[in-house]
Amino acid sequence: MTATMNGNGVQPHEEKVPHTPLDAEDDVDDGEEDGVPEAGAGGDSKKKKKKKKPKKKKATEQQSEPPRVGLSKLFPDGNYPEGELHEYKDDNAYRTTSEEKRYIERTIMQDPEQTYNNIRKGAEVHRQVRQYARKVIKPGMSMIDIAETIENGTRALVEENGLEAGVGFPTGLSVNNCAAHYSPNSGDTKVLQNGDVLKVDFGVHVKGRILDSAFTLNFDPTYEKLIEAVQAATNTGVREAGIDVRLGELAGYIQETMESYEVEINGKLVPVKPIENLSGHSINPYQIHAGKSVCLVKNNDQTKMEEGEYFAIETFGSTGRGRVIESGEVSHYAKVVDAPNVPLRLTSAKSLLKSINKNFGTLPWCRRYLERTGESRYLLALNHLVSQGVVQDYPPLCDAPGAMTAQFEHTILLRPTRKEIVSRGDDY
């Protein structure tokens, strides 16, 4: 989801391993890398590594438009496409061929609670829904229509089932100087305008494994360099992230990329600034912010990324001051993971908490989602839960008026053998 608030050049080509298309042919060779003789200097032959090809699978059905076909029908064997794979560097390069690490991965895939297939299913849902959303979102659409376009597709494709599978968090549709945590509440009449810069941030979860990814849309070329800067910064973060990487150093790489860009506005060059008090984050089952932060400005955080963790690499850039404050009507909420067991004096608050536990657990939600469960006239009870520290509210986060902000985000898995950018697709 969106970012955590905290106190504190040219990108190399990355080779992609594409996700499986829905009309892919039958399986191709999926063996280990093998040697192919290649003539060298002096007539010697040396071995050239043959790249491992991703296993393709044939879908039994095609996706509809708008997307409504559940993924179990498109992937009946229950195996979902890998994301983009990257080998680890330096001291971790051995992991790719390590038999011990391969064994650990096989064990994970056999454990129904740990299998990567859950997050890969969420990733495939996200890819298909966002590719449709990028085609249909246009100026003149209301924010509620945009949110429901995304959420209806997500629920259908993931085959929503209580806390087993569904929407991962509220659909973020923050516009212009608002960087994060805006989703329309019921009755919101806001309409997307031609000059708007729209951040689209939505998530999918399967058995609590949350896929978190975001992109930015604009309809006026003025801010294309801003968007390019933020996408490049996210790609830098994805490329440099890995096991044993220190979070403070990773932030420095992101900052350097972001600050290498400028935007021309009314004939004046304006630097792109990373938003210093927003960050990416580690993700745990049913917990979108798991404790580790990937900041956007270099700092002294010596915390390391570790094997088995997964992170939302999320960057925000701004043409303004590069710092956000809370501003506007709240839409986002979540039950606190270690919420205190406090006596609630309002009967309505007790009832609302039961509904939250049943429908969302510790996953984030918004007011529209509460109403979808049948709740009404709940604001007094909700405010009581917030005041008692049981529920956390997340107001919109905004830079100075007149500034423009952009966001890109990918979810990465730090597998024992390789880094997997689970959410990568053909669109970004």
Binding residues for substrate: 181, 289
Active-site annotation holds for 30 = no
At 10, the amino acid letter reads: V
Please identify which of the residues 314, 375, 399, 420 carries the catalytic annotation. 314
Please identify which of the residues 84, 188, 196, 201 carries the catalytic annotation. 201
CB 422, CB 119: distance < 8 Å: yes
Please identify which of the residues 19, 86, 126, 289 carries the catalytic annotation. 289
Nearest Cα to Cα of residue 86 among 12, 9, 30: 12
At 267, the amino acid letter reads: G
Binding residues: 181, 201, 212, 281, 289, 314, 409
Binding residues for a divalent metal cation: 201, 212, 281, 314, 409
What Rg do the C-alpha atoms of the chain give, in angstroms? 22
Active-site annotation holds for 201 = yes
Dist. CA 95–CA 3, nearest whole Å? 31
Dist. CA 178–CA 26, nearest whole Å? 46
Please identify which of the residues 86, 126, 205, 281 carries the catalytic annotation. 281
Please identify which of the residues 124, 151, 188, 212 carries the catalytic annotation. 212
SS3 of the chain: the string is: CCCEECCCCCCCCCCCCCCCCCCCCCCCCCCCCCEEEEECHHHCEEEEECCCCCCCCCCCCCCCCCCCCCHHHHCCCCCCCCCEEECCCHHHHHHHCCHHHHHHHHHHHHCCCCCCHHHHHHHHHHHHHHHHHHHHCCCCCEHHHHHHHHHHHHHHHHCCECCCEEECCCCECCECCEEECCCCCCCCCCECCCCCEEEEEEEEEECCEEEEEEEEEECCHHHHHHHHHHHHHHHHHHHHCCCCCEHHHHHHHHHHHHCCCEEEECCEEEECEECCCEEEEEEECCECCCCCEEECCCCCCCCECCCCCEEEEEEEEECCCCCCEECCCCCEEEECCCCCCCCCCCHHHHHHHHHHHHHCCCCCEEHHHHHHCCCCCCHHHHHHHHHCCCEEEECCEECCCCCCEEEEEEEEEECCCCEEECCCCCCC
How many residues would you count in the chain?
428
Active-site annotation holds for 289 = yes
Active-site annotation holds for 314 = yes
Catalytic residue positions?
201, 212, 281, 289, 314, 409
